[in-house]
Structure 1
């Protein structure tokens, strides 16, 4: 579990995060939802330690991360896996070498044979067991995302952060990436945090959702609750998606049908 308490961050006097407090639950896909410029990526960078909050605190499973001793922060960082928005693969390395890279950096105690075994396992887990010798330029965008996931989980991460994992992907591939992240989260009981503006991902895998607007958290809940959330800014955001509008219509029609059946049965007694 990751706990964020009153995190604030400003740049040149302009506040970007305005007192964010939230909890990211273990074994769930936690989604940080919001439009462009709402502070999603800045929040992620503060949580993983790429930026330091101006105020507030962040704890990982009860251990303070902000302003703690450097050796404690480094120990937490070793448990963090990161899937970058553009995959961020090394062009000069093969797929297998990309996945092995964090093992070389973070697990010096592993032998070369152990690292190779771990790389093969991770590539097989994401369905790329035959792609290890390929270069990033030889694989598709969806495969690059899978390589990024394999690299993120290679060091047996406890916390997985995904920055817009569906960016640049077609709808069918996006669903497959969402499903893969969801499976891995539950299989390994990882605390997964996904930065997104994609309502399709919310409907598919949003087990715990946080909505940011203009640097503030305005709502949190589940995908089952989000369609009926009484927050104007959230309503405006989510119903800009035709898929969500369709899902809402189906729910309303189903509820209307049940009410009609109930009234009919009541009238016949």
Structure 2
């Protein structure tokens, strides 16, 4: 579990994060939702330690991360896996070497142990036969899978995903979402996903935090997000015709059910 309290961050005269609080549970898909420029990625970078907040605290399973001793922060960082928006694979390394890289940098595994771990991780993401391929030979979905394998290779406790569906077709996007969800639950990982994809949120969001202009305006399970009274969130959710039509259909069905209940004397 990761907890953040009163996180503030300013760049120059621009307030990017304005007092963000939240709890991200283990074994859950915790999603940071919002339009571009709302502070999602900056908050993610603060949580993983790439950006230092001006004010506030971050704890990992009760251990203070912000402003703690360097060795404590490094110990926590070794448990963090990161799936970057563009996968960020090393072009000069094949798939096996990409997945092995964090094991070489962050663990004391010997060559045999690293090889077995790489094989296991690639098998877990369905790429057991792709180890010798170069990144240039992979599709977008395969690159994401390699990125996930690399992220979980050092037995990560915390997984951060920055727009994991970016640039993928709808079917592949669903596959990647399902894979992240499965791994999160299977290994009881605390997963935080930065996204603006409402399909991902509605289908897989165990806990959703909506950011708007650096503030948290709503937080809850995805099952309640369609009924919110927060104007900015509604404007974001129903910004396209498909979502507006879905809302209308939902309201019609609710009205029909209410009328039937009245006729049956249940109301």
TM-score of Structure 1 vs Structure 2, range by shorter chain: over 0.9
Per-residue deviation, residues 175-198 of structure 1 (Å, max 9, x unmatched): 111111111110111000000111
Alignment of 1:140-179 (within 5 A): 140-179=139-178
How many angstroms apart in 2 are the aligned matches of 1:36 and 1:191?
24
How many angstroms apart in 2 are the aligned matches of 1:39 and 1:261?
45
CA separation of 1:187/1:243 partners in 2, compared to 1, >3 Å: closer, same or farther? farther
Residues paired across the two proteins, number: 266
- Which residue does the alignment assign to 2:125? 126
Per-residue deviation, residues 21-62 of structure 1 (Å, max 9, x unmatched): 111111100000000100111000000000111111100010
Q: Any unmatched runs of 5+ in structure 1? A: none
Alignment of 1:17-166 (within 5 A): 17-107=17-107, 109-166=108-165
Per-residue deviation, residues 219-246 of structure 1 (Å, max 9, x unmatched): 1011111001110000000111444334
Question: 1:200, 1:243 within 8 Å by CA — same for their partners in 2?
Answer: no
CA separation of 1:21/1:264 partners in 2, compared to 1, >3 Å: closer, same or farther? same
Question: 1:99, 1:151 within 8 Å by CA — same for their partners in 2?
Answer: yes
Question: 1:30, 1:194 within 8 Å by CA — same for their partners in 2?
Answer: yes
Question: 1:164, 1:195 within 8 Å by CA — same for their partners in 2?
Answer: yes
RMSD, aligned α-carbons: 1.2
SS state at 1:227 partner: helix
How many angstroms apart in 2 are the aligned matches of 1:177 and 1:157?
18
Q: Any unmatched runs of 5+ in structure 2? A: none
How many angstroms apart in 2 are the aligned matches of 1:17 and 1:171?
31
- Which residue does the alignment assign to 2:231? 232
How many angstroms apart in 2 are the aligned matches of 1:161 and 1:37?
19
TM-score, normalization by structure 2: 0.97
How many angstroms apart in 2 are the aligned matches of 1:263 and 1:55?
54
Per-residue deviation, residues 99-135 of structure 1 (Å, max 9, x unmatched): 000000011x211111111101100111111101000
TM-score, normalization by structure 1: 0.96
Per-residue deviation, residues 57-89 of structure 1 (Å, max 9, x unmatched): 100010000000000000000000000000000
